[in-house]
Amino acid sequence: MKLLTNLTIFLLIISFLVDRKKTTLGVKKGIMMFAKIFPSLISVIILVSIVLYLIPQNLLLHYLGSSSGIRGYLFAGLLGSISLIPGFIAYPLAGILVKSGVSYPVIAMFVTTLMMVGIVTLPLEARYFGLKTAILRNVLSFLGAVVVALLIGLTWGLI
């Protein structure tokens, strides 16, 4: 996170030196975007704070922890496939879940299916690409998410 902050400040300075007007515009744009999502962000943090208090930690770990096995992956994948959560809400949520003990591979499964698989939007996708292609893409993406999650599980302890 520190790296990211330093990088941003560094790029900001360079950008400012090259083109002051563009930089001001960019900063304004960014802050406007932040202001736009701010209420949603805060209310999600509120809801997650409450839900995490209400759900006993051992229950959460039982279903999504590192020892939950295949069930944890499947549960996370299913959740990711059917939900329509925007990323700016999904990542804070995922971050909090990790802090509560949910394992990284399970989170990877959730995040990847959330982004690549969309069961709810399948009818819409089918109108663009055809039903068969849409189903095929979603199935392949789900399998792909399993691969990504397993690879993260395999490599996590090594690095």
Distance of alpha carbon 72 from alpha carbon 102, whole angstroms: 9
Does residue 10 interact with another protein by CB under 8 A? no
Among positions 104-133, residues that touch another protein (CB under 8 A) are 104, 107-108, 111-112, 115-116, 118, 121, 124-125, 127-130, 133
Query: Cβ neighbours of residue 84 under 8 Å, at least 6 residues apart?
Result: 118, 120, 121
Q: Which of 13, 31, 59, 82 binds another protein (CB under 8 A)?
A: 31
Does residue 94 interact with another protein by CB under 8 A? yes
* Residue (56 or 130) nearer to another protein, CB: 130
Number of residues that bind another protein (CB under 8 A): 73
Does residue 59 interact with another protein by CB under 8 A? no
Does residue 26 interact with another protein by CB under 8 A? yes
Q: DSSP for 110-142?
A: HHHHHHH--STTHHHHHHHH-HHHHHHHHHHHH
Angle between helices 122-129 and 131-156 (to 10 degrees): 120
